[in-house]
A and B are shown apart, each in its own frame.
Chain A
């Protein structure tokens, strides 16, 4: 990488829900503008890891953590404005979750809630976000239609556009294509690759092929621990850990 400026630093992060330990002393850096793929079987701590980055685990009263997460050098578990953090660290969920409003209002939702009143600014931002999510051409004639009438793939791209509209620095994807058809998946991957450099992106996925297609680097998680982190082509051609090779070659998982 030419620009290896560090965006996120994680030092010795452990996380647990009640007595269940979900993440064990994880340390890694995420570089600015890269796509980091995170693969691993279910229950390996991928989603917990992701939710530590926008403090989404805070909503679970049993959650506790040790260790440090810094973004742009700021300790996000310190005394910070969590809402501002979540605005800057966007998240796309596994299931497309559109709000029961029109397509337009879905994309404008975050802006309006962040106090933007200028309709021209909102219009500009909504259109840009929908274009960036490769959705504009499909919905430009039915912006007032209910978002729930869109197809699953369109809904997920609308979710992506909604996240983009509040202008994040970092985007977290939690298995964003697990329920989508191949064409929608391709469009979302295309958008992700297009966003490279503009956003720092972390992709959690069960689909190892997807990780290989879009990730600059790939991390392999197993039972709450990171087994290996390396350049994507290295992980997929000559992983240094036997367990990584077993998982990628489909021997388990």
Chain B
């Protein structure tokens, strides 16, 4: 038995610190490696030109645009739907067996493999609703995939609003919706935006859901409507890494780097908006 409390403290500290370092180190290594390998490929031409010579040269412009469209389309469908149903489930739904079942189902949906969503999107949107392989079908598929994330984070954010705030507002004769609109939602907004950040990262990075629903193998032009196919960065990365021989390493890593930067900067926007909301709140 170790009797010395100072020694115990040291052991605990070392364990906790060590675990954190073990988590952080691989992330730093991956980031460093991608930046190092991909940076030489990044230039104005790479970002703004169509791919050439069977994607072995030229740029990745259509894939960048495609990914941006898909992320925006996904948020357009998933954000309002997810937040509204999250509000309903937390604030309005009666706490009975059915509600609990629905909540459990939503949490479990977050764990469904993304390729299953891809297959579902193919069946429903591409074939049954006859959208074809299109931005619309891809966005809807990605939206269904990120809905559980948005609903779950919205519910957690709403649950973290003290019950007493609601009580005070109701006691003044303020209606339930007004209470939600003016007290609960502003207070929960940073948490809801966190859910949005997670959803954006997920939607921008996934390959499997867009594989059958929107992503084009090689399409060196920009889409004209939401019923067009587009190239997308994650699928493009998969293609040039495994399907096309003799692609220069720096182009592969350059593509990965661009995808990372897009996801990180979309996150950054959401983080800034979140900070603005926190500032407005008078604690």
Contact = CB atoms under 8 A, between A and B. Distances in A.
A204 to B, nearest CB: 14
A162 interface: yes
A85 B182 CA distance: 21
Interface residues of B, number: 21
B168 A99 contact: yes
A84 B173 contact: yes
A100 interface: yes
Given A95-B164, A109-B172, A148 B283 contact: yes
A114 B173 contact: yes
Given A56-B171, A109-B172, A159-B168, A100 B95 contact: no
A83 B172 CA distance: 8
B164 A100 contact: no
Contact of A100 (B167, B169, B172, B187): B187
Contact of B173 (A85, A95, A99, A159): A85
B173 A83 contact: yes
Nearest to A83: B173
Given A83-B174, A114-B173, A97 B168 contact: yes
Interface stretch (A30-38, A86-94, A133-141, A177-185): A86-94
A110 B173 contact: yes
Contacts of B171: 54, 56, 86, 90-91, 93, 163
A147 B282 contact: yes
A113 B281 contact: no
Contacts of A148: 282-283
Nearest to A103: B282
B170 A86 contact: yes
A25 to B, nearest CB: 26
A128 interface: no
Given A100-B283, A148-B283, A86 B94 contact: no
Contact of A109 (B94, B95, B167, B169): B169
B265 interface: no
A110 B174 contact: yes
A61 interface: yes
B164 A97 contact: yes
Interface in B147-175: 162, 164-165, 167-175
Using C-beta atoms within 8 Å of the partner chain, give the interface range for chain A.
20 to 34
B52 interface: no
B48 interface: no
B178 interface: yes
A237 B71 CA distance: 75
Given A100-B282, A146-B282, A146-B283, A93 B173 contact: no
A138 to B, nearest CB: 17
B162 to A, nearest CB: 8
A102 interface: yes
A102 B282 contact: yes
Contacts of B168: 93, 97, 99, 159, 162
B183 interface: yes
Given A59-B170, A86-B170, A100-B283, A113 B178 contact: yes
Nearest to B164: A97
Interface string A119-160: 000000000000000000000000001111000000000010
Contacts of A91: 171
Given A83-B175, A166-B172, 7 more contacts: A84-B173, A97-B165, A100-B165, A109-B169, A110-B174, A113-B174, A114-B173
Interface of A: 54, 56, 59, 61, 83-88, 90-91, 93, 95, 97, 99-102, 109-110, 112-114, 145-148, 159, 162-163, 166
5 contacts: A86-B170, A97-B165, A109-B174, A113-B169, A166-B172
